[in-house]
Amino acid sequence: MIHCISCIKPLKSNQIIYSNKLEAKRHQTSKMVDTVSTETRSRIMASIHGKNTKPELLMRKALHSAGFRFRIHRKDLPGKPDIVLPKYRAVIFVHGCFWHGHNCLLFKSPKTRVDYWKEKINRNRNNDKKVTQALLESGWRVGIVWECAMSHNSRDIGDITKRFAIWLRGNEPFIEET
């Protein structure tokens, strides 16, 4: 079954597959009779766009509990950082290991359309580098936490939060937790 790339609603065979975001948006707004719950939808969208993913929500929750206040997905900054802490002039990205091509145990090479995925993931990695560079050059501090860093055991998130808290209150321009 073919689904609209934007609203996930199944398309009838005579409907076109939306190839650009604007068309998909039109479809989305014109046919906003939901057949899936909001929760299911946001889960599906997260898996497609890599926003509000489980690791990201965990990180947000942990930082919030530790007393940090932040904005999310600020569109006016390079790479639309997942978490933005203006008070600390810092941004944090929570990277999914697959999409961002992490060389770790969570990364599993796709078995099909190998070239397609390889190119896509390489593009994401190059983009991540450019985004980090652009943010650092404009005076932002950049933190990256990888999905796998949070999934070994339940203590990990507490440890990571402590390290990020120290980083946020310090002056180091960059931190990466893998």
| Cβ nearer to Zn ion, comparing 55 with 81 | 55
Q: Phi first, then psi: what are they for 175, rounded to 5°?
A: -145, 140
Nearest distance in Å: CB 121, Zn ion: 12
State which residue, 144 or 168, has the beta carbon closest to Zn ion: 144
Residue 55 or 78 with smaller CB distance to Zn ion: 55
- Rounded to a whole number of angstroms, the minimum distance from the CB of residue 104 to Zn ion is 3
- Provide, for the chain, the percentages of residues in helix, strand and coil under a 3-state DSSP scheme, each rounded to the nearest 5: 45, 15, 40
Sheet holding 83-85, edge to edge: 71-72, 83-85, 90-95, 141-146, 174-177
Q: Measured from the CB of residue 94, what is the shortest distance to Zn ion in angstroms?
A: 11
Query: Tokens 């948006």 identify what position?
Result: 25
The nearer residue to Zn ion, 81 or 177, going by C-beta atoms, is 177
CB 27 within 8 A of CB 4: yes
The distance of closest approach from Cβ of residue 106 to Zn ion in the complex, given in angstroms and rounded to an integer, is: 5
φ/ψ (deg, to 5) at 16: -75, 160
Indicate the helix (H) or strand (E) that contains 169.
helix 155-169
Least separation in angstroms between residue 96's CB and Zn ion is 8
CB atoms within 10 A of CB 67: 7
Task: Name the residue nearer to Zn ion (CB basis): 63 or 150.
Answer: 150
Residue numbers at the binding site for Zn ion (CB under 5 A): 97, 102, 104, 106, 146, 148
